[in-house]
Structure 1
Amino acid sequence: MTTYNRPSYLERAVHSVLNQTYDNIELVVVDDHSETPASETLSEIDLSGLAADQCVRHEENQGANAARNTGIDAASGEYIAFLDDDDRWVPEKIERQVAAFRDGPDELGAVYTGLKTEQGDGFNESIPPEIDIDLTKALLCENVVGSLSVFMVRADLAAKVRLDERFPCWADLEWYINLSRHAEFERIPDPLVIYESDSHNRLTTDIKKKQAGYDLFVEEFSPVAKEYGSLFYRKMRGWAAYRLGASAYYRGFYSRARQYLTLAVVMYPLESSFFILFVASLGGKPVHKTVRYVRS
């Protein structure tokens, strides 16, 4: 579990670990140099129900991906599960993922679940789609796995394939693609993670980080996409541009949104969702407000 400057969220997340129906859990909290050390928050929580626990603190802020790699290095278990400090696990999550590993083939390297998003007084469930094609190929276009909080990976595989610390965002997708080239994934189609949509300081809110992630993603995976042919390469580029354009649009950066949504349509005009959001972006803020009103 990585944490930075969110002690109240950290406490709730830790309690969701303590409430797991699977007993043999080691909790590794990596404090990415919070103003209030995470160890102070943890000192107020009874961790005696865990098999082991430790808190590792960075001497300076290094970012979420470096913190995750630190946690991987510190962990001693056979499997590693991730939990962002502002997410929570439902009680049976770890038990079900471990069971999937135990029952799965030797080639199984990762197990992931669905999630439910907490919005006000209710929840919206999100179940990852069933993938009947090459998973690497699917991931090159879309994150069909989800956030790292739904993810469990074999420790030996995580030690071999590292998170790329250059990525300020999209690092989970980058990692999934590289992991999928070494091992099989299994999906549990149930929402076993709670995601709080209005939590503060999520990486996904920074459009500059999205831009940097986009640039790195295209640089790293263009050669991989070309292995599937020129048309698929254009599809991958279109989806990458669409993700960045959509992020810009929903955060009110309409000029930048139009730039990348135009690129998405040009690269892969066969995807209707690219064109629909591009048209919406032409209307700027008035159309965006109307869309939000209709959705609500």
Structure 2
Amino acid sequence: MTIDAIIPTTGRPELVRAVTSVARQTVDVRPVVVLDRPDAEPTVRALLADIPHELVVTTGGVGGSAARNAGVEASSADVVAFLDDDDEWLPQKTEQQIRRLDARDDVVVVCLAFLVGETERVVPSRPFDGSLSMSTYLLERSTMKLTENFMQSSTLLMSRRLATRHPWPRALRRHQDWGLLIDLDAAGVLFTTVPDPLVRVFQDSAGSISRSNAWSDSVAWLEEYGSHAERRAQGDFLASVALRSALRAREWGPAARVLRRALALRPHPAAVAVGLSAVVRR
């Protein structure tokens, strides 16, 4: 079974760490690096000169979803996994996940992760088991620290056929991995979790290919992808994500409107506290 790692990038220095972690897997995995900034090609080629990989260069500025889809299209492997260019895999990540795939086309294999920020913690404490809808699972925020519910692009592995049938949602500017996960869940795809932390996910990295601080993008995403989540989970998302984004941008009017809308949905107090923490941190 051949395996490719799809790594979208704008050419950040952290890319070397990500690609090196693929090269250090205990099974053979080919890094497919998708560069979404053509002018950075000489820099990226120099950064990765000593690491075997395939480089795909987009026309530029296509965004994270389209870059990942381009990587899937360029792949000829049986299996693809995704890795953000500022994250890293532990050496046994692919080997442990591939055991659970079992050559099936209707399964996504995920794993736990070390979430690295001001502190380092293992997430999630409550892996997805299908008892909640995927949208409710992803949006719910009942604790200040992001520990209970978590699933992210660098933890995903699936057959290439499945990735081709369900491409990353190109129109989304934010929360692209959540959009994909909700699409997959709606299509009846099964999710299975390796109960070990096998990825290091770095929070709040600058210069992400998918990063945006626009609160309006989050609200638009909720209306398209989160409308089937439980009301309280929708409120949690508005409070902890959209409100926080508006406050970070100092857009006080929109922030007040988002907060009122969130409170009408009775979010968890922790979600409101997370959103309002953006004022304190400034």
Short-chain TM bin: 0.7 to 0.9
Matching of residue 237 in structure 1 with residue 234 in structure 2: yes
Alpha-carbon displacement from aligned partner over 1:185-209 (angstroms, at most 9, x marks no partner): 012232211123353213675322x
Does the 8 Å CA contact 1:29/1:54 hold for their aligned counterparts? yes
Matching of residue 206 in structure 1 with residue 212 in structure 2: yes
How many equivalent residue pairs? 265
Q: 2:134 aligns to what? A: 136
Structure 1 or 2, whichever has the larger Rg, is: 1
Q: 2:203 aligns to what? A: 197
Give the Cα separation in 1 of the matches to 2:36 and 2:88. 19
Structure 1 alignment gaps of length 5 or more: 48-52, 226-231
Q: 2:25 aligns to what? A: 20
Instruction: Pick one of 37, 40, 46 that aligns with 1:36.
Output: 40
Matching of residue 218 in structure 1 with residue 223 in structure 2: yes
Structure 2 alignment gaps of length 5 or more: 1-6, 142-148
Give the Cα separation in 2 of the matches to 1:275 and 1:125. 23
Give the Cα separation in 1 of the matches to 2:30 and 2:219. 34
Matching of residue 164 in structure 1 with residue 169 in structure 2: yes
Q: Which has the higher helix share?
A: 1
TM-score by length of 2: 0.80
TM-score by length of 1: 0.77
Fraction of identical pairs, as percent: 25
**SS in structure 2 of the partner of residue 207 of structure 1:** coil
Matching of residue 184 in structure 1 with residue 181 in structure 2: no
Give the Cα separation in 1 of the matches to 2:125 and 2:226. 22
Shift of 1:128: 5.1
CA RMSD of aligned residues (A): 3.0
Q: 1:99 aligns to what? A: 99
Relative contact order higher in (CA < 8 Å, ≥ 6 apart): 2
Q: Which amino acid aligns with 1:30?
A: V
Q: 1:273 aligns to what? A: 270
Give the Cα separation in 1 of the matches to 2:50 and 2:140. 38
Q: Which amino acid aligns with 1:248?
A: A
